[in-house]
Structure 1
């Protein structure tokens, strides 16, 4: 067996049958660079495995992209063809520019602006996977259950490809049905769940006490400390991994005692950051002699572990003080009436920037209650000047929150008189 998608097994013969269709379709195009737009997760995985084995370039497009828009995006990526839903529907394109082949083309998260295409060679990805295995050192009986996007590097490279290279059959879950995922996890003796912080926390709320889950891997954003403590209490093993679009996974922490601990760098790279918590600096990845800028603020602790402070663009500078959103969020999450909170910056004519927060909870809290709570738990320059209560917090398709988009939305709402 090669992998499971939900409850259905797929073996190598099934995937190779799809490869034969692709081989015939590729005879109609002149190059080796493809964009893919499909709702079929098996088709996508078959194409990825084919591209990796034959050193083709492949770029996933969001599955709900209209055909005309998908063709525009494929041309913008200088592709030789667009696979529309399946290999039998390959649309030949004329490449206008000479570009590198043999790459996985993905996109930045878009949390700080428009998503940008990022290309990594299959050779670089192979190196990442080798050092990822060395860092995790998993027993063969550990089975990853991948409940996150398999078009993004976290789910695709670390969740699926790394598992296949280890000779283990991954279980891939599509959709967001917590009860179904609970059933799947309990069917494995040593499952290792790959998912987003928000979904992991939701799942752990449903997980029965006294029966710790074997393992959880989280990535993408830092959990609030309250969530982190909940997850840690219900798992035997907790891993956090850190990376960026340009370099892939570059650090892993096993059994971190705090949510901001991203761990030690993998063996194929080095990390540069600030010297301590009072002097965070931009995190740089040094890989193959190149310095990759991450846009994250952090520092290396006395054990050499990366500690994450936040996105550089998200740092709020108010009256000369730096405010890191996750520090304020961790404090606010201690309030019994707050279920989830995101802190972001807004313009201020006097201080330059001010701290704002949007939260979810059973009911809106009074400003007097929130300000009294802030006085007990935060320094005065960290106090949000505006609080917004909403039923849910808007997220990107990747599940991440864009603080920039929140700032734009609430600033526009304020201009229109929306509270």
Structure 2
């Protein structure tokens, strides 16, 4: 078998996510599965499989039954991975949740999903209080320091449940309202791993050592990151913090060959001295990015500094999560998130779900027209495939329609090559005097200005126009409002030119690296 290719099929397609660990343990038992940098702990695939079975047994002893929800509220590390997989092996639904969530957020999620058990760190008073309010037991993180213990004879089978049973209940960030639980079945999670695994060259090969500083409670870090490593039987290198100098050391010390991140992580690495960054990235073969748009300026700077491209993709929790990626065997197209994975159907539709069939090649000279409206050339991204979710918790409402299509809130267009370009989420629209303003279009224009390193655009209330465009910029001290407006005036229609301009030292972000737009709007 080619060492750069995923393991050949043994004729059995896994139907349960935890089977991936058993499969890797059978194939490469002594290969490192998890390198937990923060805890200075390494688990082989045999160790991990044993620990997952032990955790499943522990959860069953704590009263967990098939279909019960188990909330895992832990920082990045091997205990998090074992707890999530153990919950699934016990036949439960794993509910990953961030350790930084505040009590109000915890109460909303716990009240919605009604967990039977909460796995939380000692002294986590917020989790204890929220669990008590819904009658859930709180147990300590699994002990992952014991090595090479054979699974107990009482351990549940590695494929308890599976298929259409719900494996993960992932709560969306709630940027537009109350968080909603996305029901991801074993079928959906595994289908997306297989779809991503069909890419060539592979996103993750068995010989890879993949760095994950992404939060594992988010579906990007958990499914597209850790579970993709499980699919390939590779090695994941976990850190519980992202600090550029520390990451540079880890890249070298742990011989990292793959990096998965969000754009803000790659931007932070560019603050390292160029020689240091290039040396740190010398052993890396592949960098991937998702979760937020990757500015072309950052892509160019990273390539210049390291000689590596960053391959941008697009995904969403409801899709398991990976939907598209730039081809891995060619230079990525700046501004594009590429094409759908094998087995994923993608089309653009209007607000009624009717297909928009005509690809368009945008003319950058057109955006200064007085009433230019990208919605004339764009549509909502609609998806179909076995990777799609089973609707929202608890009853499956809002899932794919009778024909299997799910209409997202993401707005984009297809260029003449068939590559997808995202404009914005429809929920982020700013409507000025009845005209749609897509924040990303304005942000791209703002990033053209010398001295602007980051830009975010939101809508703020305006007595005359309903909403007005607010721009929040990070950049050099020499920037002025007049400079910004003068540049925008010749690049954008008048209604798109920012009416409010604010300069800040850094943009507020969510734990997954997305700009916290509601926080920016609230600061108007």
TM-score by length of 2: 0.70
Q: 8 Å contact 1:59–1:105 — kept in the other structure?
A: yes
Tell me: higher relative CO, structure 1 or 2? Use CA pairs within 8 A at least 6 residues apart. Answer: 2
Q: Name the residue aligned to 1:43.
A: 79
Secondary structure of 1:374's counterpart equals helix
Unaligned residue ranges in structure 2 (runs of 5+):
1-31, 137-163, 349-355, 363-373, 387-402
338-347 vs 400-409, which moves further: 400-409
CA root-mean-square deviation: 3.0
Alpha-carbon deviation of 1:390?
Answer: 1.6
Q: Name the residue aligned to 2:510.
A: 396
2:346 pairs, out of 265, 271, 288, with 271
How do 1:12-411 and structure 2 match up within 5 A? 12=45, 14-15=47-48, 16-17=50-51, 19-32=53-66, 33=68, 34-39=70-75, 41-64=77-100, 70=106, 73-85=109-121, 102-138=166-202, 139-187=205-253, 191-206=257-272, 207-208=274-275, 214-233=285-304, 234-247=306-319, 248-254=321-327, 255=330, 257-273=332-348, 274=356, 275=358, 276=360, 277=362, 278=374, 279-288=377-386, 289-363=403-477, 365-410=479-524
| Residues 58-102 of structure 1, C-alpha deviations (whole Å, 9 max, x = no match) | 10222245789857743530322222338xx9989769xxxx954
Secondary structure of 2:406's counterpart equals strand
> Is 2:41 the counterpart of 1:8?
yes
Q: 8 Å contact 2:311–2:332 — kept in the other structure?
A: no
Secondary structure of 1:246's counterpart equals helix
| Residues 157-211 of structure 1, C-alpha deviations (whole Å, 9 max, x = no match) | 1111111221211112220221121122234666221111011111134243766
Q: 8 Å contact 1:218–1:239 — kept in the other structure?
A: yes
Q: Which has the higher strand share?
A: 1
| Residues 22-76 of structure 1, C-alpha deviations (whole Å, 9 max, x = no match) | 5134223152321122347322100222234444211022224578985774353
Q: Name the residue aligned to 1:417.
A: none
CA distance in 2 between partners of 1:304 and 1:51 (Å):
40
Alpha-carbon deviation of 1:294?
Answer: 1.8
Q: Name the residue aligned to 2:365.
A: none
Aligned residue pairs, count: 404
| Residues 229-256 of structure 1, C-alpha deviations (whole Å, 9 max, x = no match) | 2123334343212111111111111356
Q: Name the CA shift for 1:266/1:13 in 2 (closer, same or farther; >3 Å).
A: closer
CA distance in 1 between partners of 2:491 and 2:177 (Å):
32
52-61 vs 307-316, which moves further: 52-61
Q: Name the residue aligned to 1:413.
A: none
